[in-house]
Amino acid sequence: MTDKEQDTHGPGVRLHPPLIFGFSILCGIGLDRLYALPVPGIVNGKLAGGAIITLGIMIALWALIGFYRADTDVRPDKPDSALIMSGPYRYSRNPLYIVLILVQITAALWLNMLWVLLLTPLSAVVINYYAVRREERYLEQRFGQEYLDYKQRVRRWL
């Protein structure tokens, strides 16, 4: 049995990343209830948010097709059976986290709440340290030189 076949735990990301962004959005809503701050310069937040979330959905579907084709689990608490380097993964090592950032931006625009928007960079930093770095260490151990070469070719974010 190889190391890849013995892996049963994955990268150790137990708290699912969408929950982190959801919590951040809820905190922004709570802060808005305490002291409302509208998003400045937004004429039609629903239209702008709709365009952003449409882009996010397209990226997410493109990424999820890669997971399906590779027959590997998208959840970061599960082991990976394949390294996905195609689709949006040719441009970013973390397209699904970019989608979560777009979801939070969309929520800020739809709700017209600057607090939600202001918390978006914090969400990205938390994801970077909590999930991305763990996943990168895991993928280096799991896929070795193949992942290191991929890291050299493709940026972490954009």
Give me the tens of pLDDT residue by residue for the chain, a chain 158 residues long: 344 445 556 888 889 999 999 999 999 999 999 999 999 988 789 999 999 999 999 999 999 999 999 999 898 888 899 999 999 999 999 999 999 999 999 999 999 999 999 999 999 999 999 999 999 999 999 999 999 999 999 999 99
What pLDDT score does 7 carry? 52
What pLDDT score does 110 carry? 96
What pLDDT score does 77 carry? 86
What pLDDT score does 11 carry? 86
Residue whose C-alpha is closest to residue 88's, from 125, 54, 67, 62: 62
What pLDDT score does 2 carry? 47
Report how far residue 46's alpha carbon sits from residue 64's, in angstroms, rounded to the nearest whole number.
26
What pLDDT score does 41 carry? 87
Could you tell me the pTM of the whole model? 0.92
Report how far residue 9's alpha carbon sits from residue 11's, in angstroms, rounded to the nearest whole number.
7
What pLDDT score does 1 carry? 36
Report how far residue 50's alpha carbon sits from residue 52's, in angstroms, rounded to the nearest whole number.
5
127 touches 119 (CB < 8 A) = no
